């Protein structure tokens, strides 16, 4: 059996303000040049584009959505490859489904 690190997951939500770009593919290449597109997830807030990257023993899964011309990036990160599937199923996907922007 292995031992989990003290920080098995990192979760963040970011409002993209680095450029006026609203294309998820272009935004993600700016965030992480090694990113690969994984698919899309339709939710009540709109359609999320899902990406992933791996490097330096870190696994990143990203969701990007544009609401009213404002891109949002949800990021989940782990250093334990065994947790990637669980992270996506039980943390990222529910967060994307419940995501909303209050004005």
pLDDT of residue 102: 87
pLDDT of residue 92: 95
List per-block mean pLDDT (blocks of 10 residues) for the chain, which spans 103 residues: 66 95 96 96 96 94 96 96 92 95 84
4 lies in some domain: no
Given a contact cutoff of 8 angstroms between Cβ atoms, the answer to whether 78 and 10 are in contact is: yes
d(CA 9, CA 30) in angstroms, rounded, equals 23
DSSP calls for the chain:
-----S---EEEEEE--SSS---HHHHHHHH-TT-EEEEEEEETTEEEEEEEEEETTEEEEEEEEEETTEEEEEEEEES-GGGHHHHIIIIIHHHHHH-----
Q: What is the count of structural domains for the chain? A: 1
72 lies in some domain: yes
pLDDT of residue 103: 72
pLDDT of residue 101: 92
Domain span including residue 47: 10-83
Token code pair at residue 35 = 């990113």
Task: Supply the CATH number for residue 23's domain.
Answer: 2.20.25
- Kindly report the pTM of this predicted structure: 0.89
97 lies in some domain: no
């Amino acid at each position: 059996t292995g031992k989990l690190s003290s920080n098995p997951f990192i979760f963040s939500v970011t409002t993209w303000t680095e450029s006026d770009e609203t294309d998820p593919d272009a935004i993600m290449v700016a965030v992480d040049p090694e990113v690969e597109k994984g698919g899309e997830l339709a939710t009540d807030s709109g359609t999320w584009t899902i990406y992933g990257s791996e490097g330096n023993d870190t696994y990143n899964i990203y969701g990007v959505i544009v609401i009213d011309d404002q891109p949002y990036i949800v990021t989940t990160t782990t250093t334990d490859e065994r947790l990637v599937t669980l992270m996506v199923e039980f943390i990222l996907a529910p967060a994307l489904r419940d995501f909303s922007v209050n004005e």
